[in-house]
Structure 1
Amino acid sequence: METNSFFVLATGLFLYLLFTGVKSIGVCYGNDGDNLPAPNEVVGLYQSNNIRAMRVYYPDKGTLQALGGTNIAVIVDVGNSNLAYLASGEDAAKSWVNEYIVPFPNVAIRYIAVGNEVIPGNDAGFVLTAMQNIQNALNAANLQNKIKVSTSVSTGVLGVSYPPSAGAFTDDARNYLQPIAAFLSRTGAPLLANVYPYFSYVGNPGQISIEYALFMSPGTVVNDGQLQYQNLFDAIVDAVYSALEKVGASGVSIVVSESGWPSDGGDAAAPQNAQTYVQNLIGHAGKGTPKRPGNIEVYIFAMFDEDKKQPQGIENHFGLFYPNKQPKYNINFN
């Protein structure tokens, strides 16, 4: 009896770890491009490639309908253009939640991202109030235990990033992020962070090796106290963790809401480098970072190239798939 119970428990634990480990990798679904597949085809492409999570940049009802019953975990952005409206009052947020969230009970919405890379900036002052209003609307709909409210930031919020233990927000960003971090601490929500070693590398190739950026360094590159860093991704994520600690939010976790490597359009932008980065990132996500070992949730940018994105250039070339649903390069999500 004890042996059987142990076997059942161990099997359940294995399946739990397998399930949560697979769900740690998602892909961002932007649709600012020509000839992209219909939402139901996109969702089918996620399923056929065993991609268990998706980020959408606005609450498209067709996409949400297609996601129903799939158990694909979802980050839903409110859209930056809606921040002022959602901050205007609780009725506005309640109306938004009742239109875009409540009608989709069979969609596994995990997070609502209130603003993408708006801190610091002209709309940054709307973010916390909009988050609070959305949270109150979720509470009213009894969804507070299912969906967490956060915001997505770029690593431009860091004034200091090296070494990772010295990570700190800029003064401007800290003015907004300190109260936001307190909100996240109270609600148990993570901070969403867009992490791109690519841009760090091309901005400073004399100091950063491409091997360090692509998870290919054969050994330790950065020693930071007792912590050792073999890749740039970990160093950036831990710098954000250090910045959170400095504003009193050491208990807030980080979800990497975007990360990727372009296949064209700029220095070191090539399919081979993109494939190397993405595949290595998938393999690395289950290990966490030196500061926070364990599984880390990562959303790869992006499912498709988006040729309508402005300004034209590097951001048009992050896609994993062509519009005809053929892979740009081979990636194994298993």
Structure 2
Amino acid sequence: MMMGLFRQELIVVATIAAALHNQIRIAEAIDIGFCYGMLGDNLPPATDVVNLYKKYGFSKMRLFDPNPAALNALRGSGISVILVIRNDDLPNLAASPDAVMAWLATNVEPYIKDDNLNIRIITVGNEIIPGKYAENIFPVMQSLQNILLSKNLNEIKVSTVLSRDTLGSSYSPWGGAFKPEVSGIMKGILNFFSQTASPLCINVYPYFAYASDPVNIRLDYAQFTAPGPVVTDGDLKYINLFDAMVGAFFSAMEKEGVNNVNVFVTESGWPSAGNGQLTTSQLAATYNKNFMNRILTAKGTPKRPFTHIEGFIFAIFNENKKQSAGIENNFGLFYPNMQPVCPVGHVFT
């Protein structure tokens, strides 16, 4: 009798171990990015954050500034990085290539030595077109590109990050166009990307579109759960708002005469609180899971069906020091104590 019970216990333990192994195997295969913001006074140390990424198999990180603790923790982790140059640093960097070289020597070169860290893209600013720093972007990009080439670091791409505010319309895939006041800036930037094979980085939030007009924008269209096409553009059919918003950026680029630049979606997500029934943990889990599945299919959009789009979820943590309390500090997948906001299996299975 005791031997029978012992065998049953072994079977249960083996079953649990197999299930855990399968979960880990699936996690290790996740080819998607997660934004690591630090606007909180209760966030865990960077070493713990990197271990969290490794625990769940998150292979890509976006850093909003060259934080030394985070960059040191990332050494040898196997996690690739998109690194942002802070907006406030751009006027000084635009004034002199020497300033750009000093920035690179301080914030990049020590960490990539001996291939200890893979920095894939450096983005010159974040969501600053239109804005007071917009004119600084192009000269910094040019200086940075020239310096990277001179140091044989041409595997690092140079980009910048746009929000939907750059477009006059961001909801219709055929109507996308850059606002007239930024068209000249964007033309130069897009030609730079075309020549350097760099992607345009964009932040795409169906949540904000839906929340601003829930009467006319369907929730299932915003959450990737619509049963069939919702919007038709000639022969192109859109079953989710995300594809339509990405399509709007493609249309905007084409109107500037550029059609060979890909996009990276460097932010997308859904808040779990802050706006009543529009922001529940269930809605957040549904969006993030479906967004991940959408990216991991490696399929393009109806407008560019053979162009794979990489994606990053915003964000890894709820950050209590975000400027706009409520919605902005509830985009995290995890609480600062590293416990998931909703069951991890609801997102990562």
- Tell me the TM-score normalized by structure 2: 0.87
Residues 273 and 162 from structure 1, CA distance in 2 versus in 1: closer, same or farther, beyond 3 angstroms?
Answer: closer
**1:299 to 2:312 alignment:** yes
Q: Which has the higher contact order (CA 8 A, sep 6+)?
A: 1
Superposed CA offset, 1:7-62 (max 9, x none): xxxxxxxxxxx999843x10000011122111111001011111110000000111
2:189 is matched with: 180
1:185-224 correspondence runs (5 A): 185-224=194-233
1:96-245 correspondence runs (5 A): 96-105=103-112, 106-144=116-154, 146-245=155-254
Task: Give the Cα separation in 2 of the matches to 1:92 and 1:333.
Answer: 42
Superposed CA offset, 1:206-257 (max 9, x none): 1101110000101100111111100000000011011111112210000001
2:22 is matched with: none
Contact 1:184-1:191 within 8 A present in 2 as well = yes
Letter in 1 for 2:305: P
- SS of equivalent residue, structure 1 residue 77: strand
- SS of equivalent residue, structure 2 residue 110: coil
- SS of equivalent residue, structure 1 residue 55: strand
Moved more, 72-81 or 288-297: 288-297
Task: Give the Cα separation in 2 of the matches to 1:272 and 1:129.
Answer: 44
Task: Give the Cα separation in 2 of the matches to 1:333 and 1:68.
Answer: 25
**1:82 to 2:89 alignment:** yes
Contact 1:51-1:333 within 8 A present in 2 as well = no
Residues 112 and 93 from structure 1, CA distance in 2 versus in 1: closer, same or farther, beyond 3 angstroms?
Answer: same
Moved more, 304-313 or 252-261: 304-313
- SS of equivalent residue, structure 1 residue 84: helix
Runs (4+) off by over 3 Å: 18-22, 331-334
**1:289 to 2:296 alignment:** no
- Count, aligned residues: 315
Residues 291 and 305 from structure 1, CA distance in 2 versus in 1: closer, same or farther, beyond 3 angstroms?
Answer: same
CA-based RMSD of the aligned residues comes to 1.7
Q: How far apart are residue 133 of structure 1 and its match?
A: 1.2
- SS of equivalent residue, structure 2 residue 40: coil
**1:276 to 2:286 alignment:** yes
Q: How far apart are residue 160 of structure 1 and its match?
A: 2.8
Letter in 1 for 2:328: E
Task: Give the Cα separation in 2 of the matches to 1:250 and 1:288.
Answer: 14
Structure 2 gap ranges (5+): 1-25
- Tell me the TM-score normalized by structure 1: 0.91
**1:259 to 2:268 alignment:** yes
Task: Give the Cα separation in 2 of the matches to 1:193 and 1:297.
Answer: 11
Task: Give the Cα separation in 1 of the matches to 2:148 and 2:341.
Answer: 39
Letter in 2 for 1:317: N
Letter in 2 for 1:35: N
Q: How far apart are residue 107 of structure 1 and its match?
A: 0.8
Candidates 28, 44, 52, aligned match of 1:45? 52
- SS of equivalent residue, structure 1 residue 198: helix
Task: Give the Cα separation in 1 of the matches to 2:229 and 2:324.
Answer: 37
Letter in 1 for 2:165: G
2:335 is matched with: 322
Letter in 2 for 1:82: D
